[in-house]
Structure formats: structure tokens, C-alpha cells
Amino acid sequence: MNNWDEHWPTVKKGSLLTKIYHRSAFNAYKRLLDGKLLKPDIFEIGCGTGELSARLVERYGGSVTVLDSSSEALKIAEGNFKARNIQAKIIKSDIFEFSSDKKYDIVHSEGLIEHFIGEKQEEMVERHRMLARKGGYVLISVPMSTWYYRLWRSWKEKRGDWHFGYEMPMTTEELRKVMESAGLEVISTLKAGRFSFALAKA
């Protein structure tokens, strides 16, 4: 079982590893999105610290809405947005219980869908598609089973602080297939660090 409220207080925002990760992840976002967005309405599912959404707004402008089921994550995200003077709509909800009539230019998640399996994973990707406007973008990233990932996970499990519950890394091709099965048109993929990224049109 995932225990995100235990996990998020342990995250050190200013640590070197955290900075390296966010830089690498956002560089991948820029490679996929540059030239496609102008002041977009952004929605992030399972936002965690909200760091990638904050960087999206800083680069492209627009507005941002973030959702997470963890109160601890949302406290961090709210502080992150306030420190950068970004007005963000913050929603505490389980995505499977959330509905919205509004559609967004980009719906994204990082390190989320690998925590679900089978029909639940398919439904999670479908939730991304449902929130995106027609012709909008869905961007999803997942961990790959690299040597670094396996070493890091083994270390955390031995320490007894693996808070992530079920987590199944995915190849880029596996990510593509699950997105296409939800009716998304995958237009670009790439690998950066220990993550795969896929951009699709809704």
C-alpha cells in the first residue's frame, strides 16, 4: 500500500539529487513541448511537490490546477507555488472520484500510472484523456527498470522506507501502448535519466 503522507515530508527540496532530477525531467518536458504551448491551461494529476507544473507556468505562462490525494504533498505544492508567486488551483481528491466539466490544454503526470495495474491503470490513463481538451496534450512519465532504479529501490526496501507500495517500471513501448489503448495519439517519446516520457494528442 502506498503511504504518500509518510513519503512527502522526507523529500528534501534543495538536495542535489532532487535538483538533478527536476532539471532532467523538465528538460525532457521542454524537448517535447517547446513550440506547442502558449499560455496553456495546465492540469497535473498526482502533483506531489508541484515542481514540474510550476516550471511549466514559468516557461509557457497560463494557469495551473493540481490534484493530489495526499495532504502532505499539497502543503509542499502550495508553498512551492506561493514562493514563486504563482496562482494555482489546488484540489485534494482521489482522481478516480474527481470530475470536471473544464478541459485543459495539457494534462500531465510524473511517476503515477506505474502504481496501478491492469484495468485500474487503463482507467488512470483514461482520466488524463478525459481532462484534456480535443486537440490538447497528455504528457506522462514513468520510471524505467534501469540499473540505477533497481539499486535505489533495493536500498530503500532494505532500509524499510519504501513508501511507494506497488510500482512497476515500464519501457517506452509499454507506456506508448497503454496510452494508445486509452484512445490517445502518441506523437513523441523520449528517455531521460531513469524515466520514459510520452506526449500524446487527445
Task: Take residue 110 and report the three cell numbers written for it.
Answer: 510524473
Q: Which residues of 163-183 are buried (b: 16+ CB within 10 A; e: fewer)?
A: ebeeeebbebebbbebbeebe
Q: Which tens digits make up the pLDDT trace of 42-70?
A: 999 999 999 999 999 999 999 999 999 99
Q: What's the order of all strands across the beta sheet hosting 195-201?
A: 88-92, 63-68, 41-45, 104-110, 132-143, 195-201, 185-192
Domain ranges of the chain: 4-201
Q: DSSP code of 167?
A: -
**CB–CB of 95/67 below 8 Å?**
yes
Q: What is the mean pLDDT of residues 150-177?
A: 90
Q: How many helices and strands, by DSSP H and E, does the chain display?
A: 7, 7
Q: What is the mean pLDDT of residues 4-14?
A: 62
Kindly indicate the confidence band of residue 14, based on its pLDDT and cuts at 50, 70 and 90: low
Q: CA-CA distance, 151 to 167, in Å (whole number)?
A: 15
Task: Take residue 11 and report the three cell numbers written for it.
Answer: 523529500
Beta bridge pairs of residue 109: 140
Class level of CATH domain 4-201: alpha beta
- Please tell me the predicted confidence (pLDDT) of residue 1: 46
Q: What is the mean pLDDT of residues 15-32?
A: 85
Share of the chain above pLDDT 90, in %: 74
**CB–CB of 2/165 below 8 Å?**
yes
